A and B are shown apart, each in its own frame.
Chain A
Amino acid sequence: MLSITDRDRGTPAAHSDNRVTIEVDGNAVEVPEGTSVMRAASEAGIDIPKLCATESLNAFGSCRLCLVEIEGKRGYPASCHTPATDGMKVRTQSERLHKLRRNVMELYISDHPLDCLTCPANGNCELEDMAGVVGLREVRYGYEGKNHLDSQKDDSNPYFSFDPSKCIVCSRCVRACDEVQGTLALTVQGRGFDSVISASQNQPFMDSECVSCGACVQACPTATLMEKSVIELGQPQRTVTTTCAYCGVGCSFKAEVKGDQVVRMVPNLDGRANEGHSCVKGRFAYGYTTHPDRITTPMIRESIHAPWREVSWDAAIEYAAREFRRIQDTYGQDAVGGVTSSRCTNEETFIVQKLVRAAFGNNNVDTCARVCHSPTGYGLKNTLGESAGTQAFESVEKADVIVVIGANPTEGHPVFASRMKRRLREGARLIIVDPRQIELVRTPHIEADHHLQLRPGSNVALINALAHVVVTEGLVDQDYVDQRCERESFEEWKEFISRPENSPEATASITGVSADEVRAAARLYATANNAAIYYGLGVTEHSQGSTMVIGIANLAMATGNLGREGVGVNPLRGQNNVQGSCDMGSFPHELAGYRHVSGAATRELFQTAWGVPIQPEPGFRIPNMFEAALDGEFKGMFIQGEDFAQSDPNTKHVTAALEAMECIVIQDLFLNETAKYAHVFFPGSSFLEKDGTFTNAERRISRVRKIREPLSGKSEWEAVQELAQAMGYDMHYDHPSEIMAEIARLTPTFTGVTYEKLDELGSIQWPCNERAPEGTPTMHVGEFVRGKGHFMLTGYVPTEERSTSRFPLLMTTGRVLTQYNVGAQTRRTGNTAWHAEDLLEIHPHDASERGIGDGDHVGVTSRVGDTVLRAQVTERVQPGVVYTTFHFPHTGANVITTEHSDWATNCPEYKVTAVQVTKVNEPSEWQRRHREFSEQQRKLLEERRAAARRASG
């Protein structure tokens, strides 16, 4: 069912510049050509009864409840299926229509249980509503005949149930799965009276192809497909519009609430990023927000081997401030730093970097984007002039050729993947560059034209080969380049890329991709009207991550694929606010809006606003902080919602660095892996407990709105503000909107952003300023942000991490749909039903050579460490390559990843680690120690209340 506050207009909006005027029951209404009579009537304020139609789906015309009379037309056309034409006169009510509709309803109800009073849909059921609207008073057919009232319920999915006895076979669910989600998991089986809805081959939902996006549940007009939370809690009372706190798609939701309890999350039809769709995480996986593991009282301890002690907020803040000042007095002003989180709001990240720059007085601030998209920032800033993706998501609807490089949208960015699949089903061509056979390579109604299945670590050789073909086969868009790009850098690049070593023939031995395939793909990309590149961490997390981003930008510029809809360079961001945390000045060398700290004018602006000097030199990056900690130069850290001990490479190195510090303050929901090394714990608030904004992968700023007060009694920004005050720096805001006002004052791309405008427009894509008061969906129109596009050279440099006889396989990493990053949230939800452990994918050939069978425990050893997990033997990976995810701490995927990193940004090379895999019987040494340490930390946590009592005497 749609949200309780949505008005269902029955059919999708039409997009046309031509307008037509029709008259509905005597009311004239003007609509875009192509609008259905049903929707036009709705625009005129008249709701025509309906059952098989809903706004998110194309009209189907099966229930015959929406019949109308149209002047000059015979019979009773279905209004959902009839387009409005100019001058049309429509009647929605008459004696005859009334009778026809009643008869239709009577038939439906004769095979429907009459348990409306106890039905979970009571209060929000379209069938019940329609029975009321058509004035159904009796059902003449009785229940003695054949019916479906005894059909078995399917409760296999953790989040929704399927009760076929209530099904009216309107097929809205089937069409939602096809049209909206693109998974095609549902069918109508049988005919006529025997028709039933079935998941895959008559399987329970959990065993079917269903990915639990919930689109069918949302589309169902009855209680057949129903959220279990509604069955349990009853209907909600109010809605609050907010933004998903998981991935970089940034879906907008209406949180439907009763008191301060979420009853269900319904994707917002007006949300521009998702247009009413969602994935299993955003819609269903919010249970972590009330999980008993949440820590809601501040805690401190003197050493990581001492028990935690619950204290008041004041005591915790006072203690942290004193420790940071003590460290600075002893080891110097630069011996402390902080890290902002891409899971927090813009306002929260801004205030943490301000804490570091203004209260700590140094530039030792970094963000978790360091380990994911920092190369995007570097590469796009230097070539195009702005550290951000160039398009809105909807731009993909105009793309003719789509290139997906090192991204797995159906798992990592599911709602965008659904949009992309829709465009692909309409006929757009597809090129995939990935070492693995990701789902998009072949999925119902979609098949990639080219899957360039390259070896891990050879991205740059491949992008060079593609560009080589473009340049040497005369496929450069010369007019575009002449007009929009620097002549000199283009000529230098052209000479470089034309060199024989960059040809597909020469690079084939590096990439493992045949020259013919590369040539064909390059031609397809370069000759398309509109070609768009989408990429993910498979591009950035390499020792040449930045080079690859530059290579992508070069290719797009050379073929004229930037600066309009349907084209562009689009980084798919991992976490919800990666874009935002970078925009907010979280990098050690940049202030908000990507302005280098060495710029005197920028510094002056901030110094005046903040009343303190800003250091003119860059500070430490995260890996530098760890190195310096091991050397005894760096001693204290404020960590906002991050979990390095699980997410960062070379875990043993990271934990040794954490252990070497004297004061770690962590702000988080849970005692995560990193918190086990902390001295002060500031309880954080979930997205349901905060006001603020997130910025998604398309630069879209959306509001996060509070539905309940923070469980800890204090907002995260308040805690940070009070810490700054306790350290002697006067920071004062009364509401996050005031932080945004400061951001807008100090950041040229944000000057037009206010909470009022966000309320009014729903969301805004930055830049938003005098030149673009309502934001900027497409960047670089007419001119690049930096002026002329800058080509940069992209020599291929093989990574030092190569396979050897000792470590003959290359391990690469990724993620799955149902889990999110380190899993701190999703592991505490029903999503574990799908993915309860990380597995190692290995090709049958490599497996049989090692005597490994499906499900066996295998040891994975790299130069820096080893771990044990279970094997999954599959052809999704090529021989010589193994693959795993890192959602569970005990997996220790990052115990094996190494310190190799991107040359420009130090983004770790997660995607290539040389390993050996062997069959084993017991956990690794690291896993044994990790288990012991975790057990010890659990006990120290359990003592927190007793310790508090002891301390207060």
Chain B
Amino acid sequence: MKIERLVAMANDIGKYFASRSDNEAVIEGIADHMTKFWDPRMRRQIIAHVSETGGEGLNAHVADAVRRLALPP
């Protein structure tokens, strides 16, 4: 899938959780949401994007959340 689209979707998720004052809760919320609702192919792609570019286009909390994502074996 187009990485721009995934980045935009991830940032949208990030903006929702941004209202929480606790950083940890924000990052956890984003990571949990992506784990629950994103097909592993999409997660794999955005993880690769973060490791290759350091998270170009992603808001900081979102990039942090992506770093936490686990993938199925």
Contact = CB atoms under 8 A, between A and B. Distances in A.
Interface of A: 334, 363-364, 492, 496, 543-544, 546-547, 588-589, 596, 598, 616-621, 624, 627-628, 630-631, 633, 793-795, 797, 899, 901, 903-906
Given A627-B2, A627-B5, A618 B39 contact: yes
A543 B41 contact: no
B57 to A, nearest CB: 14
A620 to B, nearest CB: 5
Given A631-B1, A631-B2, A903 B12 contact: yes
Contacts of B38: 618
A589 B41 CA distance: 14
B41 A633 contact: yes
B19 A618 contact: no
B43 to A, nearest CB: 9
Nearest to B11: A903
Contact of A624 (B1, B20, B36): B1
Interface centre among A492, A617, A630, by most chain B C-beta atoms within 10 angstroms, is: A617
B37 A793 contact: no
A620 B18 contact: no
Interface in B1-50: 1-2, 5, 9, 12-13, 15-16, 18-20, 33, 36-42
B42 A794 contact: no
A616 B36 CA distance: 10
Given A547-B16, A795-B19, A904 B33 contact: yes
A797 B33 CA distance: 18
Interface residues of B, number: 20
Contacts of A621: 37
Contact of B39 (A492, A620, A631): A620
Interface centre among B12, B36, B39, by most chain A C-beta atoms within 10 angstroms, is: B39
A631 B41 CA distance: 13
Given A334-B41, A616-B72, A618-B37, 10 more contacts: A363-B39, A598-B36, A618-B38, A620-B39, A624-B39, A627-B1, A795-B16, A903-B12, A903-B13, A904-B16
Nearest to B16: A903
Interface of B: 1-2, 5, 9, 12-13, 15-16, 18-20, 33, 36-42, 72
Contacts of A617: 39-40, 72
Nearest to B10: A903
Contacts of A492: 20
Contacts of B18: 795
7 contacts: A618-B36, A618-B38, A627-B2, A628-B1, A795-B16, A901-B12, A904-B16
B48 to A, nearest CB: 14
Contacts of A547: 16
A616 B18 CA distance: 29
Contacts of A633: 1, 41
A619 B2 contact: no
A627 B41 CA distance: 12
The 3 closest A-B pairs by CB, nearest first: A795-B19, A903-B12, A793-B19
Nearest to B15: A797
Contacts of A794: 19
A596 B36 contact: yes
A546 B17 CA distance: 12
Given A617-B40, A628-B1, A496 B16 contact: no
Contacts of B5: 627, 899
A364 B13 CA distance: 21
Contacts of B1: 624, 627-628, 631, 633
Contacts of B41: 334, 628, 633
A755 to B, nearest CB: 35
A628 B9 CA distance: 15
Given A624-B1, A794-B19, A904-B13, A619 B36 contact: no
Contacts of B33: 904
A544 B18 CA distance: 13
Contacts of B9: 901, 903, 906
Interface centre among A496, A616, A793, by most chain B C-beta atoms within 10 angstroms, is: A793
Contact of B42 (A496, A624, A905): A624
A274 to B, nearest CB: 36
B4 to A, nearest CB: 11
A630 B41 CA distance: 15
A461 to B, nearest CB: 13
A334 B1 CA distance: 14
Nearest to A631: B1
A528 to B, nearest CB: 28
Contacts of B40: 617
Nearest to A797: B15
A596 B72 CA distance: 16
A619 B39 contact: yes
Interface centre among A588, A598, A618, A621, by most chain B C-beta atoms within 10 angstroms, is: A618
B39 A543 contact: no
Nearest to A363: B39
A618 B33 CA distance: 12
A678 to B, nearest CB: 23
Contacts of A588: 39
A633 B39 CA distance: 13
Nearest to B17: A793
A870 to B, nearest CB: 35
A496 B19 contact: yes
Contacts of B37: 589, 618, 621, 904-905
Contacts of A905: 37
Nearest to B19: A795
A589 B13 CA distance: 17
B15 A903 contact: yes
B6 to A, nearest CB: 9
A899 B1 CA distance: 14
Contacts of A620: 39
Contacts of A630: 2
B28 to A, nearest CB: 14
Interface centre among B1, B33, B36, by most chain A C-beta atoms within 10 angstroms, is: B1
A661 to B, nearest CB: 15
Contacts of B19: 496, 793-795
Nearest to A793: B19
B36 to A, nearest CB: 6
A589 B15 contact: no
A491 to B, nearest CB: 12
A906 B5 CA distance: 12
Contact of A797 (B2, B16, B42): B16
Interface centre among B33, B40, B41, by most chain A C-beta atoms within 10 angstroms, is: B41
Contacts of B12: 543, 901, 903
A492 B25 CA distance: 12
A633 B45 CA distance: 13
B67 to A, nearest CB: 19
Contacts of A546: 16
Contacts of A496: 19
A360 B6 CA distance: 25
Contacts of A797: 15-16
A903 B9 CA distance: 7
B36 A589 contact: yes
A301 to B, nearest CB: 29
Contacts of B15: 795, 797, 903
A747 to B, nearest CB: 20
Contacts of B42: 624
Nearest to A627: B1
A426 B20 CA distance: 43
Contacts of A795: 15-16, 18-19
B66 to A, nearest CB: 16
A589 B37 CA distance: 6
A904 B13 CA distance: 6
A260 B12 CA distance: 53
Contacts of A628: 1, 41
